[in-house]
């Protein structure tokens, strides 16, 4: 007699964690998910101090801090609450971190654009400082001393002169009666007093992740919950012409087949439509979907073919485009040049491919909607849900789970709306689960692009003219059908590149979208940095100059660049003022000089190493990369080693920042070597990791050296800036090894490596 035992990976990990006695990672308290007991500002008196929506000090001394950004592996729940607590003077062992629901009360919650620290740094410090000042005011009254004579540290207010102290819990109710300080009255600690700045902070979610307790989107379970998978139109804009659900409904566990409304252009964040197969469990739903007999009406986007579209893009950049950057007289300089150098660059569409495909759980009735989702932007999801269901936003609740990666895909709420529409139709909670195939074939793809660069050299070999044309379907196309880029994408490696060249012109050429285009980690910087940094390496070799020395020459002397210096009317600067975050060639030069020193650049000939170099500014950070390539025993080219140096301004959590830059190298190599989404008759040809390859462990560099420079500059982005220089550093290294120029991505299309 035998008994079947169902073993689930998650429960196995959880049991293993218990067996091993748990895992300790530093002194942070465990993070929790939101619940009805989550503290909010404005609750009844006598229940502690709530100066704002982010902080609650309970009478028992526990400080609850809300994390309003989404955790997807970057450590935001380990960093933002710690910054508030540090400014407050709290002991992190007595701090409870709670994930915030989607709510405008928290300000910007979109975990995108490498903005979590750089945009909120000052505001979060003020949040902690205001709480601290209220506790100090209450202590001053209780101890009958001036507030200026008190210090806050280690979860208490101290009067060192008399060696008296009062804990946060003792002061909480009295502090609640103190007026909240005005913005002008808030006094921040000196940065030197903040113990988090530049330190390695514990990963607050680490123990739960490795022991299986962490709750991701697919882990949410509600009573009576059903699961749905959706058959979506293969071509964007398509719809169901006819279908027969009989065979699907015959599958055990399948409850119903639900038709979803077809979207109308511009598509924005609307679901793609199609048919949802709703069942008791995921496997039954997937089996039922395979048996659906659907005839599709594909629509106008069947004209999209990757090969012919590439030809259109390349034709577009051979002709004049819309001038977006203009300095000097490029036509005159090129006409008078002793020599011209010209190159064309191409980069394919990319998919996000987060390890966790999109998933959302929804519960809907006539008056309200409650959703649990692995979303990067809960407020956008809330707005989209309210519109789709005809509800006021106040009746929509969006709970944020942990995300198993995002890279920009999960800031688009189409998958969240799908769950709500199916749940409304079923009258029961529903989880909509995307498969890997769904994720790759129905993504918001990173733009395909073509670029043409031309440089003119004078008789002495100096660069006197620079012309850059770029064509790519813009992100704005999903919102308004635009076929030219908005300034924001052009300011990612076209408008903002400092060039000590007297005549510079950049042009944007038309490119109409035939699929959904979205932001992916580093956005337009990926293909723009690839073209610019590859072309600069070509120019260095054409001039017979060391590529590192050539980059320093083209950057020019250390200085800050304004719009007039760059030849633009205005410069979108990742939403930050240029006076605080200028384009600074001193910082370009600093990372460039440091990475070449680390990599032994000057000794590469003697050591017989094939090295490639690139440097790029994006999301207000400066990053330089050197890649080493070798031939393995079979003669194939592989990446041997990589060095990355970053100046990201003031860093809070150094451990997570190093991790982000290390991951950026792997991410960048993965897409440079293999990343390609192709279309045939409007439909995506790739379906899983067998044909949308990612870098595998044996292919990764044997060592990745990361150095984050100490800087007094304001905090900059860190999640995305490491990616753009990786591809050109790699292709430049391949040239150093083989003498062959790679001008298209992925590299495997052009070169057998």
pLDDT digits (tens, 9 = 90+) for 634-655: 889 999 999 999 999 999 999 9
Cα 230 to Cα 433: distance, rounded to the nearest angstrom: 8
Band (276; pLDDT cuts 50, 70, 90)? very high
Task: Dig out the tokens for 551 from the structure.
Answer: 């980059």
pLDDT digits (tens, 9 = 90+) for 184-232: 999 999 999 999 999 999 999 999 999 999 999 999 999 999 999 999 9
pLDDT given at position 107:
96
Residues of the chain with pLDDT > 90, as a percent, come to 93
Overall residue count recorded for the chain in this entry: 753
CATH of domain 306-350+444-566+574-750: 3.30.365.10
The predicted pLDDT at position 98 comes to 97
* 48: region left, alpha or beta (phi > 0 left; psi from -120 to 50 alpha): left
Structure confidence at residue 252 (pLDDT) = 98
| Range 10-211 classified under CATH 3.30.365.10 | yes
Number of other residues whose CB lies within 10 A of the CB of residue 489: 23
Checking DSSP bridges between strand 637-647 and strand 703-708, what pairing results, if any? parallel
Residue 7 has pLDDT above 60, yes or no: no
Which stretches within 28-181 are classed as H helix?
76-88, 116-143, 168-175
From residue 46, give the alpha-carbon distance in Å to each of 49, 173, 176, 428: 8, 6, 8, 39
Q: How confident is the model at residue 745 (pLDDT cuts 50, 70, 90)?
A: very high
Name the least confident of 20-24, 180-184, 527-531, 598-602: 20-24
Report the C-alpha gap between 468 and 597 in whole angstroms: 31
pLDDT reading at 735 higher than 70:
yes
Q: What is the pLDDT of residue 23?
A: 36
Render pLDDT for 390-424 as a digit per residue (tens, 0 to 9).
999 999 999 999 999 999 999 999 999 999 999 99
C-beta neighbour count of 149 within 10 angstroms: 14
- Provide the residue ranges of all domains of the chain, joining segments of one domain with +: 10-211, 217-300+361-433, 306-350+444-566+574-750
Judged against a pLDDT cut of 50, whether residue 4 lies above it is answered with no
At residue 22, does pLDDT exceed 60? no
- 56 in helix, strand or coil? strand
Tokens of 123: 């505001």
With a cut of 70, say whether residue 17 has pLDDT above it.
no
Amino acid 752: pLDDT: 55
User: Do 217-300+361-433 and 306-350+444-566+574-750 have matching folds?
Assistant: yes
pLDDT at position 36? 36
Over the chain, what is the mean pLDDT? 94
- Lookup: tokens for 633: 């025993």
Segment 522-531 shows an average pLDDT of: 98
Given this model, what pLDDT does residue 15 score?
Answer: 56
Residue 2 has what pLDDT?
46
Mean local confidence (pLDDT), 478-492 = 97
Q: Which residue has the higher pLDDT, 149 or 28?
A: 149
Q: What is the mean pLDDT of residues 112-127?
A: 96
Omega of the bond prior to 512 within 30 degrees of 0, cis?
no
Between 3.40.50.880, 3.40.50.300, 3.30.420.140, 3.30.365.10, what CATH number should domain 217-300+361-433 receive? 3.30.365.10
* Helix intervals (H) in 319-413: 330-335, 378-389
403: exposed, middle or buried (Cβ count in 10 Å: 0-12, 13-18, 19+): buried
The whole-number average pLDDT for the span 368-375 is 98
Cβ-based neighbours of 180, under 8 Å, separated by 6 or more: 51, 52, 130, 134
309-325 pLDDT, tens digit per residue, is: 999 999 999 999 999 99
Q: Beta-carbon neighbour count of residue 102 at 10 Å?
A: 27
Q: What share of the chain is helix, strand, coil (3-state, %, to 5)?
A: 35, 25, 45
Q: Which residues contact 671 (CB under 8 A, 6 or more apart)?
A: 350, 526, 727, 745, 746
Kindly tell me if the per-residue pLDDT of 79 is higher than 80: yes
Q: What is the pLDDT of residues 31-53, one digit of tens each?
A: 665 543 344 443 445 799 999 99
- Sign, CA dihedral 440-398-209-520, equals positive
Residue 66 has pLDDT above 50, yes or no: yes
Helix (H) or strand (E) holding 561: strand 560-561
User: Kind of pairing, strands 463-471 and 254-260?
Assistant: unpaired
What's the rounded mean pLDDT across residues 103-121? Answer: 96
């Amino acid at each position: 007699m035998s008994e079947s035992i169902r073993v689930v990976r998650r429960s196995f990990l959880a049991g293993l964690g218990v067996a091993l006695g748990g895992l300790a990672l530093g002194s942070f308290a465990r993070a929790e998910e939101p619940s009805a007991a989550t503290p909010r500002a404005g609750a009844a008196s006598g229940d502690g101090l709530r100066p704002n929506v982010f902080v609650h000090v309970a009478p028992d001394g526990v400080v609850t801090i809300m994390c309003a950004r989404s955790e997807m592996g970057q450590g935001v729940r380990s960093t933002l609450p710690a910054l508030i607590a540090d400014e407050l003077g709290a002991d992190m062992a007595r701090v409870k971190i709670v994930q915030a629901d989607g709510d405008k009360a928290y300000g910007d919650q979109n975990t995108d654009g490498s903005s979590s620290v750089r945009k909120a740094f000052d505001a979060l410090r003020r949040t902690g400082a205001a709480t601290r000042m209220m506790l100090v005011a209450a202590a001053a009254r209780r101890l009958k001393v001036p507030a200026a004579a008190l210090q806050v540290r280690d979860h208490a207010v101290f009067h060192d002169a008399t060696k008296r102290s009062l804990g946060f819990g003792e002061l909480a109710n009295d502090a609640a009666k103190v007026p909240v300080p005005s913005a002008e009255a808030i006094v921040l600690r000196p940065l030197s007093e903040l113990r988090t700045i530049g330190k390695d902070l514990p990963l607050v979610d680490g123990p739960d992740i490795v022991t299986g307790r962490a709750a991701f989107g697919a882990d949410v379970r509600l009573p009576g919950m059903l699961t749905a998978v959706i058959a979506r139109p293969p071509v964007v804009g398509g719809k169901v012409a006819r279908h027969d659900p009989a065979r699907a409904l015959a599958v055990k566990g399948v409850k119903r087949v639900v038709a979803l409304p077809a979207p109308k252009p511009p598509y924005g964040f609307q679901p793609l439509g199609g048919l949802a197969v709703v069942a008791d469990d995921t496997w039954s739903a997937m089996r039922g979907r395979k048996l659906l007999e659907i005839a599709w009406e594909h629509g106008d986007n069947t004209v999209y073919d990757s090969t012919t579209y590439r030809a259109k893009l390349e034709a577009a950049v051979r002709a004049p485009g819309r001038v977006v950057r203009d300095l000097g007289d490029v036509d005159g300089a090129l006409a008078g040049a002793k020599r011209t150098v010209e190159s064309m660059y191409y980069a394919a569409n990319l998919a996000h491919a987060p390890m966790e495909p999109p998933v959302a759980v929804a519960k809907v009735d006539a008056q309200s909607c409650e959703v649990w989702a692995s979303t990067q932007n809960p407020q956008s999801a809330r707005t989209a849900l309210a519109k789709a269901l005809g509800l006021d936003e106040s009746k929509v609740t969006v709970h944020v789970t942990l995300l198993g990666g995002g890279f920009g895909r999960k800031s688009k709420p189409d998958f969240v709306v799908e769950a709500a529409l199916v749940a409304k139709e079923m009258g029961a909670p529903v989880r909509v689960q995307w498969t890997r195939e769904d994720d790759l074939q129905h993504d918001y793809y990173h733009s395909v692009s073509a670029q043409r660069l031309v440089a003119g050299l004078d008789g002495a070999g100096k660069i006197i003219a620079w012309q850059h044309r770029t064509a790519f379907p813009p992100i704005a196309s999903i919102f308004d059908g635009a076929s030219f880029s908005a300034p924001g994408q052009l300011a990612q490696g076209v408008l903002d590149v400092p060039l000590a060249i007297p005549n510079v012109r950049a042009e944007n050429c038309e490119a109409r979208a035939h699929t959904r285009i979205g932001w992916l980690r580093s956005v337009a910087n990926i293909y723009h940095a690839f073209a610019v940094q590859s072309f600069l390496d070509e120019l260095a070799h054409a001039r017979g100059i060391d590529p590192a020395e050539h980059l320093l020459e083209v950057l020019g002397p250390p200085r800050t660049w304004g719009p007039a210096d760059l030849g633009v009317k205005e410069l979108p600067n990742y939403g930050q003022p240029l006076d605080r975050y200028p384009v600074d060639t001193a910082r370009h030069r600093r990372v460039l000089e440091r990475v070449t020193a680390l990599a032994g650049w000057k000794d590469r000939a003697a050591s017989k190493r094939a090295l490639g170099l690139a440097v790029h500014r994006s999301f207000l950070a400066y990053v330089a990369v050197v890649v080493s390539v070798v031939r393995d025993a079979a003669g194939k080219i592989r990446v041997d080693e990589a060095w990355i140096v970053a100046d990201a301004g003031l860093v809070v959590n150094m451990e997570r920042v190093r991790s982000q830059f290390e991951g950026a190298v792997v991410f960048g190599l993965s897409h440079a070597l293999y990343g390609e989404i192709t279309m045939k008759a409007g439909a995506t040809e790739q379906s899983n990791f067998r044909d949308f390859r990612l870098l595998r462990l044996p292919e990764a560099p044997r060592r990745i050296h990361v150095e984050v420079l100490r800087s007094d500059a304001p905090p900059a982005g860190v999640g995305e800036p490491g990616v753009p220089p990786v591809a050109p550093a790699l292709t430049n290294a391949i040239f150093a090894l083989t003498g062959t120029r790679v001008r298209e991505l992925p590299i495997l299309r052009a070169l057998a490596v």
